[in-house]
Chain A
Amino acid sequence: MRTVIAEDSVLLREGLAHILRRFGHEVTAVGDAPGLLAAVRHDPPDVVITDVRMPPGFSNEGLVAALQLRRDRPGLPVLVLSQYVEHGSAAELLETGEGVGYLLKDRVSEVAHFISAVEEVRGGGTVLDPEVVRRLLARRRVRSPIDALTPREREVLALIAEGRSNAAIARRLTVTDAAVAKHVNAILTKLDLPPAPDDHRRVLAVLAYLRA
């Protein structure tokens, strides 16, 4: 798998490249947002992993670059790593469609999880950091469609948001695949997402969650 990583800290860039190479990635590493855009233009990779805060402004250049890449090349898998959780950024990314991820940076140290998240995004899945999901679950807004969900359905939705497949959710909750499918259908109905042939409905459900 050919991967471009953008991270300004040399220490983390090397660490990230080391981990990815160990799992067979062919890594191109850059240190800022213009570098990232140039690298992708020069040789489009299979997946992009980028930091949010990078030179020159040390603001959210990485996120802006990620959004631009998603606009210019729809479907290019992009995983954004952030030092802190801001669900506005997560929602912006998710709105660009499937094949995106938003993880806290220290999640990289859970190496096996991190690698599977990269695979998930590469395969067109959506991955949200469990911290984002936890915050959203803890938040009790007034009159949110999420209120209509049962605790079990919320649990399932949280796992969907983390980018897990029905089979993975079934394993995690030790229930049958059919039971998970039933929960997923209930969630989609309650969130007013009519049946469509697309798996994208799962992303829409998570988006509804983020906007609630």
Chain B
Amino acid sequence: MCPRTLSVMTTASPRSAWEALAAGPVRFLRTSWPWRVVGWALSGCLVAVVWTVAFLGLVVVPVAALLALLTGVGLADVERRRLRLVDRTAAPSPHARPRRPGFVAWFATRFREVATWRELGYAVVFALVLAWLDAAMGLVFCLGLAVVLAPVLIALTPQVQPDELVWFGPYPLLAQLGLSLAGLLLLPVLAYLVTAYVAARVALTRVLLVGRGGPAPHAEVAELTRSRVRLVEAMDAQRRRIERDLHDGAQQRLTGVAMTLGLARLELDGTTGPARELVDRAYEQSRLALAELRELVHGIHPQALVDSGLPAALATLADRSPVPVQLDVTLPARPPAEVEAAAWFIAGEALANVAKHSGAAQAWVRARTSGGAVVLEIGDDGRGGADPAGGTGLVGLADRVSVLGGRITLSSPDGGPTLLTVELPCGP
């Protein structure tokens, strides 16, 4: 079985100094990356100085002292931008966008965020230690460079006598060239060391200052997700209500009508004529209406799901499927109602698709719990080639799954088999 997945191999330019270094130290030295690494390492202390001045300046002013606590946010913003020098991977902010415009809202939002205090902590450590350590590492690389360029530097500065600093022996020029050659050999090693250090520093900065993946989690996005969850819950509640109303109302009345007509037929037993015929017809029609209503009510929200849980409801679905279904359901505990409902809808839709499109002789439904989630698999031995974008109901099901924070995967190579896997987390 070969899942239809898309994998993209990246052979393009490296995304970070560390990746660039992997191409080999000599090739690395020919790119702009060493300069980026050194630039990054040396520029940190400037940021540190500016921040320290701003922080101390604000702390001594009584009213602005609160603002001083938020200077970490500004420093973190600069640091995230500075990361681009050595790491092309996006560095989104961990902060939420305030729900209302204006300074007060921004202030209130920032003060309530953990990220704000993490950034302040980083700022203090950065200004006191890290920035200077970075600069020192940058200088180490510069020193290596200076050794390589020593003959040139000495030639360019005739007012400085090298002998006064270092004694180069009886053949100063030769010694200087030898030193330069040693420097050339040393330079890749230094580049490696400094880049490794910077890679570690980048990782530290990412952990402390960068939001987890994707774009900044706006407050509105979280709110939108919550409102979608509410919408699905309301939809399920409404379906249950409609099912109950139909059961208590129309279904009972219609059953009563059929019963009465059944009694009428009994009274008319042995007679013939138009009255008997009409009663017979009314009786048959009421029976048909009842059967249709029963199917309809079942499709809205099966009582079996409420009463006996997912295994029974899945068994009923399997019974109704025209393609034979092998059931394998092992659920140690009842999942939450919304998970049961979603699993039931998905299995129903998937089995309907199997019957309609797959040409399969055999289908199977498996349900398990794994890592706090219900894992539902629906497979068939049909012709495959199912296209999630092909207007099947699967797109709608994907919405339901995403609202629950789950995942849906479809593997359907041409020639089959088709396997739909759904993970529905049970926890909050």
Contact = CB atoms under 8 A, between A and B. Distances in A.
Nearest to A110: B262
A59 B318 CA distance: 22
Contact of A22 (B244, B255, B263, B315): B263
Contacts of A35: none
Interface string B288-305: 001100100110001110
B118 to A, nearest CB: 50
A93 to B, nearest CB: 14
B115 to A, nearest CB: 47
Interface stretch (A42-50, A66-74, A84-92, A200-208): A84-92
A178 interface: no
B304 A84 contact: yes
B347 to A, nearest CB: 16
Contacts of B262: 19, 108-111
B303 A109 contact: no
Interface stretch (A24-32, A132-140, A184-192): A132-140
B307 interface: yes
Interface in A94-116: 105-106, 108-112
Interface in A106-151: 106, 108-112, 135-136, 138-142
A58 B312 contact: no
* Interface SS of B by simple majority: helix
A18 interface: yes
Contacts of B265: 111
Contacts of B316: 85-86
B259 A87 contact: no
Contact of B306 (A12, A59, A112, A142): A59
A16 interface: yes
A11 B250 CA distance: 12
A105 B312 CA distance: 20
Given A83-B247, A87-B319, A111 B294 contact: no
Interface residues of B, number: 40
A9 B253 CA distance: 9
Given A58-B244, A84-B303, A135 B319 contact: yes
A84 B266 contact: no
Given A86-B316, A111-B266, A12 B259 contact: yes
A15 B304 contact: no
Contact of B251 (A83, A89, A141): A83
Contacts of B307: 59-60, 86
Interface string B248-260: 1001111110111
A183 interface: no
Nearest to B261: A109
B287 interface: yes
B217 interface: no
Contacts of A164: none
B283 interface: yes
B294 A109 contact: no
Contacts of A106: 254-255, 258, 287, 290-291, 294
A33 to B, nearest CB: 14
Interface in B300-339: 302-304, 306-308, 312, 315-316, 318-320, 324, 326
Contacts of B290: 106
A59 B305 CA distance: 10
A86 B313 CA distance: 9
Most A CB within 10 A of own CB, among B291, B297, B307 = B307
Interface of B: 244, 247-248, 251-256, 258-263, 265-266, 283, 286-287, 290-291, 294, 297-298, 302-304, 306-308, 312, 315-316, 318-320, 324, 326, 362
The 4 closest A-B pairs by CB, nearest first: A109-B262, A109-B258, A140-B324, A15-B259
21 contacts: A12-B256, A15-B259, A15-B263, A19-B259, A59-B307, A60-B308, A83-B251, A83-B294, A84-B298, A84-B302, A86-B307, A88-B315, A89-B308, A105-B255, A106-B290, A108-B255, A109-B259, A109-B262, A111-B266, A112-B266, A135-B319
